[in-house]
Chains A and B, each alone.
Chain A
Amino acid sequence: MKKLAIKVNLITGRSIQQGVSMEGGKEKPAYTAACGIIELDPAEFKRLGTYRNTNVRVTSEYGSVIVKAVEATQGPHPGVAYIPMGPWANMVINPNTYSTGMPTFKGTPVEVEIAKNGQVLDSLDLVRKACRGEVV
Protein backbone atom coordinates (compact mmCIF):
# COMPACT_ATOMS: atom_id res chain seq x y z
CA MET A 1 0.00 0.00 0.00
CA LYS A 2 1.31 3.42 -0.89
CA LYS A 3 2.00 5.59 2.12
CA LEU A 4 -0.16 8.64 2.55
CA ALA A 5 1.75 11.86 2.01
CA ILE A 6 0.44 15.40 2.25
CA LYS A 7 1.79 18.36 0.34
CA VAL A 8 2.53 21.63 2.15
CA ASN A 9 4.49 24.80 1.57
CA LEU A 10 7.52 24.87 3.90
CA ILE A 11 8.87 28.01 5.53
CA THR A 12 11.65 28.37 8.11
CA GLY A 13 12.67 31.04 10.60
CA ARG A 14 13.63 31.83 14.14
CA SER A 15 11.67 30.76 17.21
CA ILE A 16 12.62 31.83 20.69
CA GLN A 17 13.13 28.20 21.71
CA GLN A 18 15.47 27.84 18.73
CA GLY A 19 17.45 30.88 19.89
CA VAL A 20 17.67 29.83 23.53
CA SER A 21 18.62 26.23 22.82
CA MET A 22 21.12 27.30 20.16
CA GLU A 23 22.92 29.48 22.69
CA GLY A 24 22.65 26.65 25.24
CA GLY A 25 24.58 24.33 22.92
CA LYS A 26 23.66 22.84 19.58
CA GLU A 27 24.87 19.42 20.71
CA LYS A 28 22.25 19.29 23.49
CA PRO A 29 18.84 17.53 23.31
CA ALA A 30 17.04 20.87 23.84
CA TYR A 31 18.21 22.07 20.41
CA THR A 32 16.83 18.94 18.76
CA ALA A 33 13.56 19.39 20.66
CA ALA A 34 13.33 23.02 19.50
CA CYS A 35 14.34 22.63 15.87
CA GLY A 36 13.95 18.98 14.88
CA ILE A 37 10.22 19.57 14.46
CA ILE A 38 7.69 20.56 11.85
CA GLU A 39 4.77 22.74 12.87
CA LEU A 40 1.56 21.70 11.13
CA ASP A 41 -2.02 22.93 11.32
CA PRO A 42 -4.66 20.71 13.00
CA ALA A 43 -6.26 20.28 9.57
CA GLU A 44 -2.97 18.87 8.27
CA PHE A 45 -2.87 16.29 11.05
CA LYS A 46 -6.35 15.19 9.99
CA ARG A 47 -5.29 14.91 6.35
CA LEU A 48 -2.23 12.92 7.37
CA GLY A 49 -4.30 10.77 9.73
CA THR A 50 -1.96 10.88 12.68
CA TYR A 51 -1.62 12.17 16.21
CA ARG A 52 0.48 15.13 17.27
CA ASN A 53 4.09 14.40 18.24
CA THR A 54 4.53 11.65 15.66
CA ASN A 55 7.79 11.46 13.75
CA VAL A 56 7.39 12.24 10.08
CA ARG A 57 9.57 12.26 7.01
CA VAL A 58 9.69 15.56 5.15
CA THR A 59 10.82 15.30 1.56
CA SER A 60 11.42 17.91 -1.10
CA GLU A 61 13.08 17.93 -4.49
CA TYR A 62 16.32 18.79 -2.66
CA GLY A 63 16.45 16.31 0.21
CA SER A 64 14.72 14.52 3.01
CA VAL A 65 14.76 14.60 6.81
CA ILE A 66 12.96 13.03 9.75
CA VAL A 67 11.45 15.43 12.28
CA LYS A 68 8.68 15.39 14.85
CA ALA A 69 5.30 16.78 13.77
CA VAL A 70 3.83 19.19 16.32
CA GLU A 71 0.81 21.46 16.25
CA ALA A 72 1.46 24.98 14.98
CA THR A 73 2.17 27.34 17.86
CA GLN A 74 1.63 30.48 15.79
CA GLY A 75 -1.26 29.47 13.60
CA PRO A 76 -3.55 28.72 12.04
CA HIS A 77 -1.76 28.76 8.71
CA PRO A 78 -3.40 26.12 6.51
CA GLY A 79 -1.20 24.80 3.73
CA VAL A 80 1.93 26.24 5.31
CA ALA A 81 4.34 24.18 7.43
CA TYR A 82 7.13 25.57 9.58
CA ILE A 83 10.48 24.07 10.58
CA PRO A 84 12.59 26.42 12.76
CA MET A 85 15.87 27.44 11.11
CA GLY A 86 18.61 24.87 11.60
CA PRO A 87 20.17 21.81 10.02
CA TRP A 88 16.88 19.88 9.86
CA ALA A 89 15.16 22.56 7.78
CA ASN A 90 18.28 22.97 5.66
CA MET A 91 18.17 19.34 4.54
CA VAL A 92 15.06 20.08 2.50
CA ILE A 93 14.91 23.79 1.62
CA ASN A 94 15.55 25.07 -1.90
CA PRO A 95 19.27 25.96 -2.06
CA ASN A 96 18.99 27.89 -5.34
CA THR A 97 19.96 31.54 -5.02
CA TYR A 98 18.77 32.73 -8.45
CA SER A 99 21.80 35.02 -8.71
CA THR A 100 21.20 36.83 -5.44
CA GLY A 101 23.43 34.78 -3.12
CA MET A 102 20.42 34.01 -0.97
CA PRO A 103 19.15 30.42 -0.85
CA THR A 104 15.36 30.19 -0.99
CA PHE A 105 14.76 29.35 2.66
CA LYS A 106 11.05 30.12 2.47
CA GLY A 107 8.49 28.60 0.19
CA THR A 108 9.71 25.08 -0.60
CA PRO A 109 7.00 22.59 -1.65
CA VAL A 110 7.43 19.47 0.51
CA GLU A 111 5.69 16.16 1.14
CA VAL A 112 5.11 14.97 4.68
CA GLU A 113 4.52 11.30 5.48
CA ILE A 114 4.36 9.34 8.71
CA ALA A 115 7.66 7.75 9.80
CA LYS A 116 6.75 6.35 13.21
CA ASN A 117 9.94 4.35 13.55
CA GLY A 118 12.17 7.05 12.12
CA GLN A 119 14.65 8.67 14.49
CA VAL A 120 15.19 12.41 14.81
CA LEU A 121 18.98 12.78 14.86
CA ASP A 122 20.72 15.47 16.89
CA SER A 123 22.20 18.37 14.93
CA LEU A 124 25.84 17.27 14.96
CA ASP A 125 24.96 13.68 14.11
CA LEU A 126 22.59 14.71 11.36
CA VAL A 127 25.15 16.88 9.58
CA ARG A 128 28.02 14.44 10.11
CA LYS A 129 26.06 11.42 8.91
CA ALA A 130 24.52 13.29 5.99
CA CYS A 131 27.99 14.43 4.86
CA ARG A 132 29.17 10.82 4.92
CA GLY A 133 26.06 9.76 3.01
CA GLU A 134 24.81 7.63 5.91
CA VAL A 135 21.32 9.11 6.02
CA VAL A 136 18.92 9.24 3.14
Chain B
Amino acid sequence: MTKTVTDVVCPFCGTLCDDLEVVVSDDGKQLLEVYNACAIGAEKFLHSQAEDRLTRPRLQQEDGSWKDVTYDEAIEYTAQMLASSTKPLMYGWSSTNCEAQGVGSEIGEITGAVMDNTATVCHGTSLIAVQDIGIPHCTLGEVKNRADRVVFWGCNPAHAHPRHMSRYSIFPRGFFTGKGHKGRKVIVIDPRKTDTANVADVHLQIEQGRDYELLDALRVAFKGLPLPDVVAGIPKEQIYEAAEVLKSGRFVIIFFGMGVTQSLGKNHNIDEAIAVTRDLNEYTKAAIMPMRGHYNVTGSGAVWGWQFGFPFAVDLSRGFARYNPGETTSNDLLRRGEVDSVFVLGSDPGAHFPFSSVKKISELPSVCIDPHQTPTTAVCKLHVPVAFVGVEIGGCAYRMDNVPIETRKVVEAPEGMMTDEEFLEKVLVRIKEIKGE
Protein backbone atom coordinates (compact mmCIF):
# COMPACT_ATOMS: atom_id res chain seq x y z
CA MET B 1 0.00 0.00 0.00
CA THR B 2 1.11 3.52 -0.70
CA LYS B 3 0.32 6.70 1.16
CA THR B 4 -0.57 10.05 -0.34
CA VAL B 5 0.75 13.12 1.45
CA THR B 6 -1.33 16.21 0.67
CA ASP B 7 -0.63 19.96 0.94
CA VAL B 8 3.05 19.47 0.27
CA VAL B 9 5.09 22.64 -0.31
CA CYS B 10 7.32 22.71 -3.39
CA PRO B 11 10.93 23.71 -2.67
CA PHE B 12 11.90 25.03 -6.07
CA CYS B 13 10.97 28.62 -6.88
CA GLY B 14 9.74 31.62 -4.93
CA THR B 15 6.12 30.81 -5.77
CA LEU B 16 6.34 28.11 -3.09
CA CYS B 17 3.22 26.20 -4.30
CA ASP B 18 1.57 24.56 -1.29
CA ASP B 19 -0.92 22.21 -2.95
CA LEU B 20 1.28 19.35 -4.12
CA GLU B 21 0.37 15.73 -3.51
CA VAL B 22 3.14 13.19 -3.15
CA VAL B 23 2.73 9.42 -3.16
CA VAL B 24 5.17 7.60 -0.89
CA SER B 25 5.72 3.95 -0.13
CA ASP B 26 4.15 2.45 2.98
CA ASP B 27 7.40 2.59 4.97
CA GLY B 28 7.83 6.26 4.05
CA LYS B 29 11.25 5.63 2.54
CA GLN B 30 10.50 5.95 -1.16
CA LEU B 31 8.90 8.77 -3.06
CA LEU B 32 6.89 7.35 -5.96
CA GLU B 33 4.80 10.03 -7.64
CA VAL B 34 4.24 13.77 -7.54
CA TYR B 35 0.99 15.50 -8.48
CA ASN B 36 0.11 19.17 -9.14
CA ALA B 37 3.75 20.24 -9.38
CA CYS B 38 5.28 21.91 -12.43
CA ALA B 39 7.87 20.00 -14.46
CA ILE B 40 10.76 21.50 -12.48
CA GLY B 41 9.20 20.88 -9.05
CA ALA B 42 8.31 17.28 -9.93
CA GLU B 43 11.86 16.67 -11.14
CA LYS B 44 13.25 18.06 -7.89
CA PHE B 45 11.17 15.65 -5.79
CA LEU B 46 11.91 12.67 -8.05
CA HIS B 47 15.63 13.38 -8.31
CA SER B 48 15.92 12.90 -4.56
CA GLN B 49 15.26 9.22 -5.32
CA ALA B 50 18.03 8.90 -7.93
CA GLU B 51 19.99 5.70 -7.57
CA ASP B 52 23.30 7.40 -8.26
CA ARG B 53 22.77 9.96 -5.51
CA LEU B 54 25.77 10.64 -3.30
CA THR B 55 25.13 9.95 0.38
CA ARG B 56 28.52 10.53 2.02
CA PRO B 57 30.96 13.47 2.04
CA ARG B 58 33.98 13.28 -0.23
CA LEU B 59 37.28 15.08 -0.44
CA GLN B 60 38.89 16.04 -3.73
CA GLN B 61 42.46 14.76 -4.14
CA GLU B 62 45.35 16.47 -5.90
CA ASP B 63 44.73 14.48 -9.09
CA GLY B 64 41.04 15.40 -9.17
CA SER B 65 39.78 12.04 -7.90
CA TRP B 66 37.46 11.80 -4.89
CA LYS B 67 37.99 10.06 -1.56
CA ASP B 68 34.99 9.24 0.65
CA VAL B 69 35.20 10.64 4.17
CA THR B 70 32.91 10.42 7.19
CA TYR B 71 30.61 13.24 8.31
CA ASP B 72 32.83 13.68 11.38
CA GLU B 73 35.87 14.24 9.19
CA ALA B 74 33.87 16.65 7.03
CA ILE B 75 32.77 18.61 10.11
CA GLU B 76 36.38 18.82 11.32
CA TYR B 77 37.61 19.95 7.88
CA THR B 78 34.92 22.63 7.58
CA ALA B 79 35.42 23.89 11.14
CA GLN B 80 39.20 24.09 10.73
CA MET B 81 38.90 25.88 7.40
CA LEU B 82 36.48 28.50 8.71
CA ALA B 83 38.23 28.97 12.04
CA SER B 84 41.63 29.52 10.43
CA SER B 85 40.37 31.95 7.78
CA THR B 86 40.70 35.70 8.21
CA LYS B 87 37.75 36.53 5.99
CA PRO B 88 35.79 33.53 4.72
CA LEU B 89 32.96 33.97 2.22
CA MET B 90 29.83 32.08 3.26
CA TYR B 91 27.63 32.09 0.19
CA GLY B 92 24.33 30.55 -0.86
CA TRP B 93 21.65 30.11 1.82
CA SER B 94 18.73 30.23 -0.60
CA SER B 95 17.91 26.53 -1.00
CA THR B 96 17.70 25.77 2.68
CA ASN B 97 15.34 26.54 5.55
CA CYS B 98 15.44 29.56 7.86
CA GLU B 99 16.54 27.36 10.77
CA ALA B 100 19.77 26.43 8.95
CA GLN B 101 20.24 30.07 7.90
CA GLY B 102 20.07 31.05 11.58
CA VAL B 103 22.80 28.59 12.58
CA GLY B 104 24.89 29.66 9.57
CA SER B 105 24.67 33.29 10.68
CA GLU B 106 26.04 32.37 14.08
CA ILE B 107 29.01 30.66 12.43
CA GLY B 108 29.48 33.76 10.29
CA GLU B 109 29.57 35.98 13.37
CA ILE B 110 32.12 33.84 15.20
CA THR B 111 34.43 33.44 12.21
CA GLY B 112 34.11 37.00 10.89
CA ALA B 113 32.73 35.90 7.56
CA VAL B 114 31.07 37.73 4.72
CA MET B 115 27.54 36.35 4.42
CA ASP B 116 25.99 36.63 0.99
CA ASN B 117 23.00 34.94 -0.59
CA THR B 118 21.90 34.34 -4.16
CA ALA B 119 20.19 37.74 -4.28
CA THR B 120 23.67 38.97 -5.15
CA VAL B 121 23.18 37.60 -8.71
CA CYS B 122 19.38 37.81 -8.71
CA HIS B 123 17.39 40.53 -6.94
CA GLY B 124 20.24 42.20 -5.04
CA THR B 125 19.81 45.29 -7.16
CA SER B 126 16.09 45.28 -6.31
CA LEU B 127 16.97 45.28 -2.62
CA ILE B 128 19.26 48.28 -3.17
CA ALA B 129 16.42 50.08 -4.96
CA VAL B 130 13.98 49.27 -2.15
CA GLN B 131 16.44 50.80 0.32
CA ASP B 132 16.64 53.85 -1.97
CA ILE B 133 12.95 54.62 -2.35
CA GLY B 134 10.81 51.98 -0.59
CA ILE B 135 8.33 49.60 -2.14
CA PRO B 136 4.53 49.54 -2.44
CA HIS B 137 4.05 45.83 -1.83
CA CYS B 138 1.21 43.32 -1.49
CA THR B 139 0.78 39.57 -1.13
CA LEU B 140 0.05 37.06 -3.88
CA GLY B 141 -3.36 36.52 -2.27
CA GLU B 142 -4.20 40.16 -2.97
CA VAL B 143 -2.99 39.72 -6.55
CA LYS B 144 -5.27 36.73 -7.03
CA ASN B 145 -8.30 38.41 -5.46
CA ARG B 146 -7.89 41.98 -6.70
CA ALA B 147 -5.45 42.51 -9.56
CA ASP B 148 -7.04 43.31 -12.93
CA ARG B 149 -3.91 44.77 -14.57
CA VAL B 150 -0.87 42.51 -14.50
CA VAL B 151 2.55 43.56 -15.80
CA PHE B 152 5.47 41.16 -16.27
CA TRP B 153 8.58 43.27 -16.82
CA GLY B 154 11.72 41.40 -17.82
CA CYS B 155 10.49 38.14 -16.40
CA ASN B 156 9.20 34.95 -17.97
CA PRO B 157 7.10 33.03 -15.42
CA ALA B 158 6.02 30.50 -18.08
CA HIS B 159 9.56 29.15 -17.75
CA ALA B 160 10.91 30.37 -14.43
CA HIS B 161 7.83 30.24 -12.16
CA PRO B 162 5.64 27.83 -14.13
CA ARG B 163 2.58 27.83 -11.82
CA HIS B 164 2.68 31.50 -10.90
CA MET B 165 0.25 32.48 -13.67
CA SER B 166 -2.28 29.76 -12.89
CA ARG B 167 -2.18 30.10 -9.11
CA TYR B 168 -1.96 33.86 -8.63
CA SER B 169 -1.44 36.24 -11.49
CA ILE B 170 -3.40 35.56 -14.71
CA PHE B 171 -5.86 32.69 -14.63
CA PRO B 172 -7.35 32.20 -11.15
CA ARG B 173 -10.79 33.53 -10.19
CA GLY B 174 -10.57 35.52 -6.97
CA PHE B 175 -12.98 37.42 -4.70
CA PHE B 176 -13.08 40.58 -6.86
CA THR B 177 -11.74 38.86 -9.99
CA GLY B 178 -14.56 36.43 -10.69
CA LYS B 179 -13.96 36.40 -14.43
CA GLY B 180 -10.46 35.00 -14.05
CA HIS B 181 -8.16 35.78 -16.94
CA LYS B 182 -10.99 37.38 -18.94
CA GLY B 183 -11.20 40.14 -16.39
CA ARG B 184 -7.47 40.82 -16.41
CA LYS B 185 -5.33 42.74 -18.86
CA VAL B 186 -1.80 41.40 -19.08
CA ILE B 187 1.17 43.44 -20.33
CA VAL B 188 4.56 41.83 -20.96
CA ILE B 189 7.71 43.87 -21.53
CA ASP B 190 10.52 41.70 -22.86
CA PRO B 191 13.11 41.84 -25.67
CA ARG B 192 12.03 38.31 -26.69
CA LYS B 193 8.57 37.12 -27.64
CA THR B 194 8.49 34.78 -24.67
CA ASP B 195 5.91 32.13 -23.86
CA THR B 196 4.58 34.56 -21.24
CA ALA B 197 4.24 37.23 -23.94
CA ASN B 198 2.14 34.76 -25.95
CA VAL B 199 -0.61 34.79 -23.30
CA ALA B 200 -0.48 38.56 -22.82
CA ASP B 201 -2.87 41.16 -24.24
CA VAL B 202 0.01 43.52 -24.94
CA HIS B 203 3.64 42.67 -25.63
CA LEU B 204 6.09 45.55 -25.82
CA GLN B 205 9.21 44.08 -27.44
CA ILE B 206 11.64 46.47 -25.86
CA GLU B 207 15.17 47.02 -27.11
CA GLN B 208 17.39 45.06 -24.70
CA GLY B 209 18.83 47.19 -21.90
CA ARG B 210 16.49 50.18 -22.47
CA ASP B 211 14.20 49.49 -19.53
CA TYR B 212 14.95 52.75 -17.76
CA GLU B 213 13.92 54.78 -20.82
CA LEU B 214 10.65 52.91 -21.26
CA LEU B 215 9.77 53.12 -17.57
CA ASP B 216 10.47 56.83 -17.68
CA ALA B 217 8.36 57.17 -20.82
CA LEU B 218 5.45 55.50 -19.03
CA ARG B 219 5.65 58.10 -16.26
CA VAL B 220 5.51 60.82 -18.89
CA ALA B 221 2.58 59.11 -20.62
CA PHE B 222 0.61 58.85 -17.34
CA LYS B 223 0.66 62.65 -17.21
CA GLY B 224 -0.28 62.93 -20.90
CA LEU B 225 2.90 64.86 -21.72
CA PRO B 226 4.65 64.64 -25.11
CA LEU B 227 7.00 61.74 -25.93
CA PRO B 228 9.53 61.21 -28.74
CA ASP B 229 8.18 59.09 -31.63
CA VAL B 230 10.00 55.97 -30.49
CA VAL B 231 11.32 55.11 -27.03
CA ALA B 232 13.39 51.95 -26.43
CA GLY B 233 12.18 50.58 -29.76
CA ILE B 234 8.49 51.08 -28.89
CA PRO B 235 6.33 53.58 -30.87
CA LYS B 236 4.87 56.28 -28.63
CA GLU B 237 1.26 55.30 -29.50
CA GLN B 238 1.81 51.93 -27.87
CA ILE B 239 3.28 53.55 -24.78
CA TYR B 240 0.30 55.93 -24.39
CA GLU B 241 -2.03 52.96 -24.89
CA ALA B 242 -0.23 50.85 -22.26
CA ALA B 243 -0.33 53.82 -19.84
CA GLU B 244 -4.10 54.11 -20.33
CA VAL B 245 -4.59 50.38 -19.76
CA LEU B 246 -2.71 50.66 -16.47
CA LYS B 247 -4.45 53.83 -15.29
CA SER B 248 -7.89 52.39 -16.01
CA GLY B 249 -7.34 49.33 -13.79
CA ARG B 250 -8.71 48.89 -10.28
CA PHE B 251 -5.55 47.17 -9.03
CA VAL B 252 -2.26 47.09 -10.92
CA ILE B 253 0.49 44.65 -10.05
CA ILE B 254 3.94 44.87 -11.62
CA PHE B 255 6.08 41.74 -11.45
CA PHE B 256 9.69 42.18 -12.47
CA GLY B 257 12.61 39.85 -12.96
CA MET B 258 16.17 39.46 -14.15
CA GLY B 259 15.54 41.39 -17.36
CA VAL B 260 15.58 44.58 -15.30
CA THR B 261 17.90 43.65 -12.43
CA GLN B 262 20.74 42.24 -14.54
CA SER B 263 20.69 44.68 -17.46
CA LEU B 264 22.76 47.84 -17.33
CA GLY B 265 21.20 50.46 -15.09
CA LYS B 266 20.50 47.69 -12.59
CA ASN B 267 19.21 49.18 -9.31
CA HIS B 268 18.30 52.41 -11.12
CA ASN B 269 15.97 50.42 -13.40
CA ILE B 270 14.17 49.20 -10.30
CA ASP B 271 14.15 52.71 -8.79
CA GLU B 272 12.25 53.80 -11.87
CA ALA B 273 9.91 50.79 -11.84
CA ILE B 274 9.00 51.57 -8.23
CA ALA B 275 8.51 55.22 -9.20
CA VAL B 276 6.09 54.05 -11.93
CA THR B 277 4.17 52.14 -9.26
CA ARG B 278 4.13 55.17 -6.99
CA ASP B 279 2.87 57.38 -9.83
CA LEU B 280 0.14 54.88 -10.67
CA ASN B 281 -1.15 55.16 -7.12
CA GLU B 282 -2.29 58.69 -7.99
CA TYR B 283 -4.85 57.16 -10.36
CA THR B 284 -5.58 53.71 -8.95
CA LYS B 285 -4.14 51.14 -6.55
CA ALA B 286 -0.80 49.68 -7.63
CA ALA B 287 1.85 47.40 -6.16
CA ILE B 288 5.14 45.92 -7.36
CA MET B 289 6.79 42.60 -6.58
CA PRO B 290 10.14 41.00 -7.46
CA MET B 291 9.86 37.49 -8.90
CA ARG B 292 12.20 35.80 -6.44
CA GLY B 293 13.98 32.76 -7.81
CA HIS B 294 15.07 30.29 -5.13
CA TYR B 295 12.30 29.09 -2.85
CA ASN B 296 13.88 30.61 0.25
CA VAL B 297 16.09 33.46 -0.94
CA THR B 298 13.47 35.78 0.52
CA GLY B 299 13.84 33.89 3.83
CA SER B 300 17.59 34.40 4.02
CA GLY B 301 17.03 38.11 3.45
CA ALA B 302 14.43 38.08 6.22
CA VAL B 303 16.66 36.18 8.65
CA TRP B 304 19.64 38.47 8.07
CA GLY B 305 17.46 41.54 8.00
CA TRP B 306 16.29 40.56 11.45
CA GLN B 307 19.73 39.55 12.74
CA PHE B 308 22.06 42.04 11.08
CA GLY B 309 19.85 44.72 9.53
CA PHE B 310 20.82 43.93 5.93
CA PRO B 311 19.32 41.41 3.50
CA PHE B 312 22.49 40.33 1.62
CA ALA B 313 26.21 41.10 1.31
CA VAL B 314 26.70 41.30 5.08
CA ASP B 315 30.35 41.70 6.06
CA LEU B 316 30.95 40.52 9.64
CA SER B 317 34.75 40.51 9.43
CA ARG B 318 35.12 43.63 11.63
CA GLY B 319 32.97 42.20 14.41
CA PHE B 320 29.88 44.16 13.41
CA ALA B 321 27.63 44.05 10.37
CA ARG B 322 28.65 46.17 7.38
CA TYR B 323 26.86 46.31 4.07
CA ASN B 324 28.19 47.89 0.90
CA PRO B 325 27.12 46.27 -2.39
CA GLY B 326 29.96 46.47 -4.87
CA GLU B 327 32.43 45.91 -2.04
CA THR B 328 30.95 43.24 0.22
CA THR B 329 29.22 41.28 -2.56
CA SER B 330 30.50 37.81 -3.53
CA ASN B 331 31.59 38.47 -7.10
CA ASP B 332 33.46 41.63 -6.23
CA LEU B 333 35.19 39.97 -3.25
CA LEU B 334 36.17 36.92 -5.31
CA ARG B 335 37.41 38.82 -8.32
CA ARG B 336 39.48 41.15 -6.16
CA GLY B 337 40.84 38.24 -4.12
CA GLU B 338 39.59 39.63 -0.80
CA VAL B 339 38.44 36.38 0.81
CA ASP B 340 40.64 33.50 1.89
CA SER B 341 38.17 30.60 1.87
CA VAL B 342 34.75 29.83 0.45
CA PHE B 343 31.87 27.99 2.06
CA VAL B 344 28.84 27.32 -0.14
CA LEU B 345 25.48 26.01 1.05
CA GLY B 346 22.22 25.83 -0.90
CA SER B 347 23.43 27.34 -4.15
CA ASP B 348 25.61 26.66 -7.15
CA PRO B 349 27.97 29.54 -7.88
CA GLY B 350 30.03 27.22 -10.09
CA ALA B 351 27.18 27.24 -12.59
CA HIS B 352 25.74 30.68 -11.97
CA PHE B 353 28.67 33.01 -11.25
CA PRO B 354 30.77 34.51 -14.04
CA PHE B 355 33.72 32.25 -14.77
CA SER B 356 36.29 34.71 -13.40
CA SER B 357 34.70 34.25 -9.95
CA VAL B 358 34.46 30.46 -10.31
CA LYS B 359 38.18 30.27 -11.05
CA LYS B 360 38.91 32.12 -7.82
CA ILE B 361 36.77 29.65 -5.86
CA SER B 362 38.77 26.79 -7.35
CA GLU B 363 42.00 28.37 -6.14
CA LEU B 364 40.82 28.79 -2.52
CA PRO B 365 40.14 26.34 0.31
CA SER B 366 36.47 25.53 -0.23
CA VAL B 367 33.57 23.48 1.09
CA CYS B 368 30.28 22.90 -0.71
CA ILE B 369 27.17 21.57 1.01
CA ASP B 370 24.76 20.36 -1.68
CA PRO B 371 22.63 17.27 -2.26
CA HIS B 372 23.53 17.33 -5.99
CA GLN B 373 26.74 17.07 -7.95
CA THR B 374 27.24 20.51 -9.46
CA PRO B 375 29.95 22.56 -11.17
CA THR B 376 30.59 24.02 -7.69
CA THR B 377 31.22 20.61 -6.15
CA ALA B 378 33.49 19.88 -9.12
CA VAL B 379 35.87 22.69 -8.13
CA CYS B 380 35.48 22.57 -4.32
CA LYS B 381 37.86 20.67 -2.07
CA LEU B 382 35.14 19.12 0.10
CA HIS B 383 31.64 18.14 -1.01
CA VAL B 384 29.08 17.31 1.67
CA PRO B 385 25.80 15.86 0.39
CA VAL B 386 22.85 16.54 2.68
CA ALA B 387 19.13 15.80 2.89
CA PHE B 388 16.80 17.80 0.59
CA VAL B 389 14.98 20.54 2.49
CA GLY B 390 11.27 20.42 1.70
CA VAL B 391 11.49 16.75 0.74
CA GLU B 392 13.41 14.94 3.48
CA ILE B 393 13.26 17.62 6.16
CA GLY B 394 10.78 20.44 6.78
CA GLY B 395 11.46 23.97 7.94
CA CYS B 396 10.43 27.54 7.33
CA ALA B 397 10.66 29.20 3.92
CA TYR B 398 9.51 32.65 2.71
CA ARG B 399 7.45 33.04 -0.45
CA MET B 400 8.30 35.84 -2.90
CA ASP B 401 5.71 38.09 -1.22
CA ASN B 402 7.40 37.65 2.21
CA VAL B 403 4.80 35.19 3.51
CA PRO B 404 6.47 32.48 5.63
CA ILE B 405 5.34 28.94 4.82
CA GLU B 406 6.36 25.81 6.70
CA THR B 407 7.69 23.22 4.26
CA ARG B 408 7.03 19.55 4.95
CA LYS B 409 9.02 16.39 5.22
CA VAL B 410 7.55 13.72 2.92
CA VAL B 411 10.13 10.92 2.90
CA GLU B 412 13.03 9.72 5.00
CA ALA B 413 16.50 10.74 3.86
CA PRO B 414 18.85 7.86 3.00
CA GLU B 415 20.13 6.31 6.21
CA GLY B 416 22.80 8.23 8.05
CA MET B 417 22.48 11.41 5.97
CA MET B 418 22.62 14.71 7.81
CA THR B 419 20.51 17.78 7.21
CA ASP B 420 21.95 21.26 6.60
CA GLU B 421 20.99 22.35 10.10
CA GLU B 422 22.48 19.30 11.86
CA PHE B 423 25.73 19.66 9.93
CA LEU B 424 26.00 23.39 10.65
CA GLU B 425 25.24 22.92 14.34
CA LYS B 426 28.09 20.41 14.67
CA VAL B 427 30.44 22.71 12.78
CA LEU B 428 29.42 25.56 15.11
CA VAL B 429 30.17 23.49 18.22
CA ARG B 430 33.56 22.50 16.83
CA ILE B 431 34.47 26.08 15.85
CA LYS B 432 33.61 27.23 19.38
CA GLU B 433 35.95 24.54 20.74
CA ILE B 434 38.76 25.58 18.40
CA LYS B 435 38.33 29.26 19.25
CA GLY B 436 38.13 28.39 22.96
CA GLU B 437 34.73 30.03 23.47
Interface residues of A (CB under 8 A from B): 9, 11, 13-16, 18-20, 22-27, 62-63, 72, 74-77, 80, 82, 85-87, 90-91, 93-95, 97-107, 123-124, 126-128, 130-131
Contact = CB atoms under 8 A, between A and B. Distances in A.
The interface centre, meaning the residue of B44, B313, B335, B355 with most chain A CB atoms within 10 A of its CB, is B355
Contact of B47 (A18, A24, A97): A24
B263 A87 contact: no
A76 B205 CA distance: 10
A17 to B, nearest CB: 8
Contacts of A11: 191-192, 208
Contact of A97 (B64, B331, B359, B374): B331
Interface of B: 12, 38-40, 43-44, 47, 50, 64, 120-121, 124-125, 128, 156, 158-160, 162, 191-195, 197, 205, 208-209, 258-259, 261-264, 266-267, 293, 312-313, 325-332, 335, 348, 350-359, 362-363, 372-375, 378-379
B39 A86 contact: no
A7 B312 CA distance: 36
B156 A13 contact: yes
Given A23-B40, A23-B43, A102 B262 contact: yes
Given A14-B160, A98-B266, A106-B208, 6 more contacts: A26-B351, A26-B375, A90-B352, A95-B356, A107-B263, A124-B374
Contact of B40 (A20, A77, A104, A127): A20
Most buried by A among B162, B264, B354: B354
B355 A101 contact: no
Given A13-B258, A99-B326, A103-B121, A19 B159 contact: yes
A90 B358 contact: yes
Contact of B192 (A82, A93, A123): A82
Contact of B124 (A16, A101, A128): A101
A74 B193 contact: yes
Contacts of B325: 99-101
A26 B379 contact: no
A80 to B, nearest CB: 6
A20 B39 CA distance: 6
A72 B326 CA distance: 34
B44 A23 contact: yes
A124 B351 CA distance: 9
Contacts of A74: 156, 192-195, 197
A87 B375 contact: yes
A85 B294 CA distance: 14
Contact of A131 (B39, B125, B160, B362): B362
